[in-house]
């Protein structure tokens, strides 16, 4: 992975206006933030800059505004939660460019923190419009990107600003990049990837990339049914993309060519209903009843997955092994997650996980804090796993 400029490369920033791109796209219910994880992730960068005397100006988007400013998508809704997490007063501005932003920035003292309004209230943000980017840059002397989760978008505040101001990676961005480097960049081998979820169609690029980079690929969730069916096995009423049989076969061919072991379930937990506590049974994967659906991998398969985790020095995880939201179909995901956490705590495994369902599943298993790194980035994490260049990251690379 290329070298990046970080906050360690910044000297004497007292009095400097630092534009910090953060991810404040957090869940809100009844006007209150219900999960402040993303705010907590960017707090170290904000507070470090503030303590060094910088004027910290936060740039962020919230939701997907369609026609300009919208009260229910105003960052003023998020400001109280930001203040609470930081333990520091945070001023607000009614716009991110123009007179309102300039006036708010002009009132700042060294160490102050200011939250500008939703960047997506302007069409120029997502279009990476040069005029809009220039208007954003007028309020800053330095640009810091601490929003890896938005780094897969070449927007004005995530990519464009880095061409106009000295650009650096914030602490969260730095931690993410360092963790990803350990995960797939220059990993300790063997490397095992666990990929689950409902559909193969959403993860074709991901699977094609991983089979060339890992030693074993464990496939779980509904997408495993597509691979099982592609081998000619009847999967009953299980979720399955039968039209992707050829794609599944091609992925298995690519894996064989690259020396990557594909690990599919040997047994499954089946039920006739998709509901909590539904009557269920464990069956051999080749004996799925015609009127049943596979909702989790079985105990033999969990043992095989855990054997691979035991062999691995690096684990990359995206997606649950079963329908973990509903008991008892969370059993396999919880068991594998706990085993990976134990290996990590023993210092025998580097474990990197990401993707919305994955974070939820690891929280459900009670092991999220025990993994080496858990990414909250969602789409950016997936695109990184797919081997794609992330515009917001590429622009931070050191040129000399």
Which of 63, 111, 356, 387 is flagged as catalytic? 356
Bridge partner residues of 140 (DSSP): none
Name the token pair of 85. Answer: 């997490």
* All residues at 6 or more sequence positions from 343 whose CB lies less than 8 Å from its CB, including other chains: 309, 310, 312, 315, 349, 351
Longest dimension (CA), the chain: 71
| Chain length of the chain | 400
Query: How far from the centroid of its chain's Cα atoms is residue 214's Cα?
Result: 19
Q: How far apart are CA 145 and CA 130, in angstroms?
A: 18
Give the number of other Cβ atoms within 10 Å of residue 318's Cβ.
Answer: 23
Which of 63, 379, 387, 388 is flagged as catalytic? 379
Query: Per residue, what are the HEC states of 124-155?
Result: HHHHCCHHHHHHHHCCCCEEEECCHHHCCCCC
Residue 222 is a catalytic residue = no
Query: Residue 261, by phi and psi: left (phi above 0), alpha (psi -120 to 50) or beta?
Result: beta
Which of 16, 38, 182, 203 is flagged as catalytic? 38
Bridge partner residues of 262 (DSSP): 217
Q: How far apart are CA 192 and CA 202, in angstroms?
A: 20
Q: How far apart are CA 129 and CA 392, in angstroms?
A: 15
Bridge partner residues of 281 (DSSP): 270
Q: How far apart are CA 308 and CA 304, in angstroms?
A: 6
Residue 183 is a catalytic residue = no
Residue 38 is a catalytic residue = yes
Residue 199 is a catalytic residue = yes
Which of 63, 98, 127, 199 is flagged as catalytic? 199
Query: How far from the centroid of its chain's Cα atoms is residue 43's Cα?
Result: 18
Q: How far apart are CA 336 and CA 322, in angstroms?
A: 11
Q: Which residues are catalytic?
A: 38, 199, 356, 379
């Amino acid at each position: 992975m290329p070298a990046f400029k970080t906050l360690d490369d910044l000297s004497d920033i007292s009095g400097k206006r630092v534009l910090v791109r953060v991810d404040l796209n957090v869940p809100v219910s009844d006007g209150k933030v219900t999960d402040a994880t993303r705010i907590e992730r960017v707090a170290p960068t904000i507070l470090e800059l503030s303590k060094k005397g910088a004027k910290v100006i936060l740039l962020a988007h919230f939701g997907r505004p369609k026609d300009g400013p919208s009260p229910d998508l105003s960052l003023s809704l998020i400001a109280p939660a930001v203040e609470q997490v930081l333990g520091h007063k945070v001023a607000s501005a009614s716009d991110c460019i123009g007179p309102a932003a300039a006036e708010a920035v002009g009132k700042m003292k060294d160490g102050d923190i200011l939250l500008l309004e939703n960047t997506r209230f302007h069409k120029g943000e997502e279009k990476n419009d040069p005029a809009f980017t220039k208007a954003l840059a007028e309020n800053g002397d330095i640009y810091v990107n601490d929003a890896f989760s938005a780094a897969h978008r070449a927007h004005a505040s995530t990519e464009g600003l880095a061409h106009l101001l000295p650009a650096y990676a914030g602490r969260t961005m730095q931690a993410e990049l360092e963790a990803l480097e350990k995960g797939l960049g220059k990993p300790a081998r063997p490397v095992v990837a666990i990929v689950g979820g409902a559909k193969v169609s959403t993860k074709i690029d991901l699977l094609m990339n991983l089979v060339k980079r890992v030693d074993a690929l464990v496939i779980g969730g509904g997408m495993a049914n597509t691979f099982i069916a592609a081998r000619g096995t009847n999967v009953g009423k299980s979720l399955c993309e039968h039209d992707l049989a050829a794609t599944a076969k091609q992925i298995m061919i690519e894996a064989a060519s690259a020396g990557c072991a594909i690990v599919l379930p040997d047994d499954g937990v089946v039920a006739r209903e998709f509901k909590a506590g539904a009557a269920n049974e464990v069956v051999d994967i080749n004996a799925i009843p015609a009127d049943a659906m596979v909702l989790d991998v079985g105990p033999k398969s969990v043992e095989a997955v855990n054997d691979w985790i035991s062999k691995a020095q690096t684990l990359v995880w995206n997606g649950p092994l079963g329908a973990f939201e509903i008991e008892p179909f969370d059993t396999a995901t919880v068991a594998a997650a706990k085993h990976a956490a134990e290996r990590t705590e023993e210092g025998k495994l580097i474990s990197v996980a990401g993707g919305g369902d994955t974070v939820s599943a690891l929280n459900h298993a009670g092991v999220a804090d025990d993994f080496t790194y858990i990414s909250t980035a969602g789409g950016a994490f997936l695109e990184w796993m797919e081997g794609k260049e992330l515009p917001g990251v590429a622009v931070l690379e050191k040129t000399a």
